[in-house]
Amino acid sequence: MLVITLILIKSGNMKKFLLIPVCMLALHSFAQEGEVHKAMDDKYGEPGRDKLNAWTENMMNAKTEPQYTFTTAMNMHIISYKHGEKKDESDIKYYINPSSETFGMKPVDKKGRDNMIMVYDMKNHSMLMLDHDKMTGMAININAFMSKEMQEKRDHPETATPGKSNTDCKKTGKTQTIQGYQCEEYVCKDDERKTRSEIWIAHALPINISQSGARGPYAAYFRSADGLGGMMMMAKFYKEDELESSMEITLLDPKANIMVKTTDYKLGMR
């Protein structure tokens, strides 16, 4: 099973976009049991098996740095709703360095455990999954999941044709302070999709996490904020006037000094 989430980070100069695939990979566990190889043999024979082996080798051919430093840390609290009632809650810790092409994400499970961190190195087009408890990890070559055309669009976004958006965002004039930053409210509507988003943006922050066209589990929390020129600090998302989800930045440290040393981990498939 492979889940890919596409995240765009807007850098401090507010012009450069970085395309970040967030890959949660479980393929290796099946491959070790021979299930994937057997399926490829049954359907394609030896050429299919060779093709799978070549792809796996390319996927594992990832370049990483000895260490990564993050200067901003934040916690996002997410709530999902069903028929107006709270359904689920979760937290995600983010680590960002606006001056470099790196991004970290640490999901927090329902028991409060956060032993896994994912680091996205867009300079080397790689992603790392690191387990703090076992001090083991896995490095993945992101290009293995992208066609040459996708890589070209990623590396040269200025040549890509922008997609048409049906979302109309308007400033309401309301303001409030969230985590020490003055925020302005926007209401974004998409009549075709029958959605509405109430978004609070901090324009003073040089970091903007946005998400466009993604199908990952957190797509809705970023899509409407794309292009508003600031950091989304709080939002509510509606479908046909029914509240579906909400998010809030509950912690923000723009002076964090978090270092992840990849040399401390044993990297491999297991």
Which pLDDT score is estimated for 101? 75
pLDDT at residue 16, as a whole number: 31
Whether the predicted pLDDT of 178 surpasses 60? yes
pLDDT at 180 over 90: yes
Can you give the pLDDT at residue 85? 92
Please report, for residues 37, 38, 112, 138, the alpha-carbon distance to residue 31 in angstroms, rounded to integers and kept in the order given. 7, 9, 31, 15
pLDDT at residue number 27: 43
Indicate whether 155 pLDDT > 50.
yes
Q: How confident is the model at residue 1 (pLDDT cuts 50, 70, 90)?
A: very low
Q: Where are the alpha helices (DSSP H) in the chain?
A: 27-32, 35-44, 46-60, 148-155, 220-223
> Phi and psi at residue 61, in whole multiples of 5°?
-85, 70
Q: Which residue has the higher pLDDT, 12 or 93?
A: 93
pLDDT digits (tens, 9 = 90+) for 26-65: 344 444 445 545 655 665 566 666 776 776 777 878 889 9
User: pLDDT value at position 22?
Assistant: 40
Which residue in 182, 184, 216 sits closest to 199, CA to CA? 184
DSSP label of 194: T
The answer, yes or no, to whether residue 17 has pLDDT greater than 70, is no
Amino acid at 161: T
Question: Domain ranges in the chain?
Answer: 2-267
Give the separation between CA 88 and CA 201, rounded to whole angstroms: 24
Distance CA 10, CA 19 (A): 10
Rounded CA separation 86/244 (Å)? 9
What would the pLDDT profile of 99-143 be if each residue is shown by its tens digit?
777 888 888 887 888 889 999 888 888 889 999 899 999 998 888
pLDDT in tens, 196-247: 999 999 988 866 555 333 333 344 445 445 567 778 899 999 999 999 999 9
Q: How much is the pTM?
A: 0.70
